[in-house]
Amino acid sequence: MIELLTADTPNGKKISIMLEEIGFKYKVTKIRLRSEEGDFSKGEQFKPEFRRISPFSKIPVIIDHENNKEAVFESGAILIYLGEKSNKFYEQKDRTKINQWLMAQMAYVGPMLGQHHQFHRYNSGKDKWGEERYFKITKTIYGDLDERLGQSKNLAGDNYSIADIATFPWIARHDWHDIGLENFKNLTRWYLEIAKREAVIKGYDLLKNGSEIPKP
Ligand SMILES: N[C@@H](CCC(=O)N[C@@H](CS)C(=O)NCC(=O)O)C(=O)O
């Protein structure tokens, strides 16, 4: 059994989607990232027992109870671990391509879209320069992903892979981005194909509170 310590965020959803896709038995342990008053500095991610398995105090983390309670932090590393363990969505022959698109998600797509959330969604009007910068970068990312998906069925080639699983929950925040997903035809085609997968629908609603995938 895999224990998933997480919260309802794009990085958290990557792992619940993967666990549903590979059909592993898992349980979700919710980590409250902020106090009742909304203070992040008082979240459960800073408890010493959590920091022992997640040194940067971030979700998601998994504990593999079938493998000597091996704990893995960083969503990309977790996807690789589960891909290797299940032999699914991480085809040996495609690994170089999958790794590129996975690393691009981890190092660029996620962090940039995350900044766009901070400036545009949570702190709109506070910093014009930051707001414009991350709006522009987000638009560029949509364009670049659209271009790739005009040439390729999925990010790393024909096969749906952990690179798609890592990227999907970030694009699922398109309603926060205000870029207009529907203007990016190839990205929309890919998004809708993934959005109808049963495992994705289930994994998206990881806390079982009726969370639905936003339509373009
Ligand atoms: N690169 C990390 C990023 C994880 C991350 O930023 N997690 C956020 C939620 S999506 C978090 O735990 N934030 C709590 C905090 O920063 O205190 C990953 O992909 O696992």
Residues 20/202, Cβ–Cβ less than 8 Å: yes
pLDDT at 38: 86
* pLDDT recorded at residue 181: 98
Strand 2-6 vs strand 61-64: parallel, antiparallel, or unpaired?
antiparallel
pLDDT of residue 115: 98
DSSP state of 213: P
- What is the model's pLDDT at position 58? 98
Mutate to test the pocket of ligand 1, among 5, 9, 11 (most ligand atoms within 8 A of CB): 11
Q: What is the C-alpha to C-alpha distance for residues 157 and 154, in angstroms, rounded to an integer?
A: 5
Ligand 1 atom at shortest distance from the alpha carbon of 59: 12
Predicted confidence at residue 180, as pLDDT, reads 97
* Position in ligand 1 atom list of the atom nearest CA 11: 10
Does 118 have pLDDT greater than 90?
A: yes
54 C-alpha to center of ligand 1: Å?
10
pTM passes above 0.95: yes
pLDDT of res. 36: 86
Residue 110 has pLDDT above 90, yes or no: yes
Average pLDDT over residues 90-104: 98
Identify the helix (H) or strand (E) that includes residue 104. Answer: helix 95-104
- For ligand 1, whether the C-beta of 8 sits within 6 Å is no
Q: How confident is the model at residue 12 (pLDDT cuts 50, 70, 90)?
A: very high
Q: Which atom of ligand 1 sits closest to the CA of residue 110? A: 19
Mean residue pLDDT of the chain comes to 97
Between the CA of 10 and the centroid of ligand 1 the distance, in Å, is: 9
Residue 51 pLDDT: 98
Tokens 């590129």 locate to: 100
Instruction: Count Cβ atoms within 10 A of the Cβ of residue 74 and give its class: 0-12 exposed, 13-18 middle, 19 or more buried.
Output: middle
Residues 91, 83: Cα–Cα separation, whole Å:
8
Give the residue-averaged pLDDT of 81-91.
98
Q: Is the pLDDT of residue 97 over 90?
A: yes
CA of 75 to the centre of ligand 1 (A): 9
- Over residues 127-139, mean pLDDT: 98
Q: Is the model's pLDDT at 56 over the cut of 90? A: yes
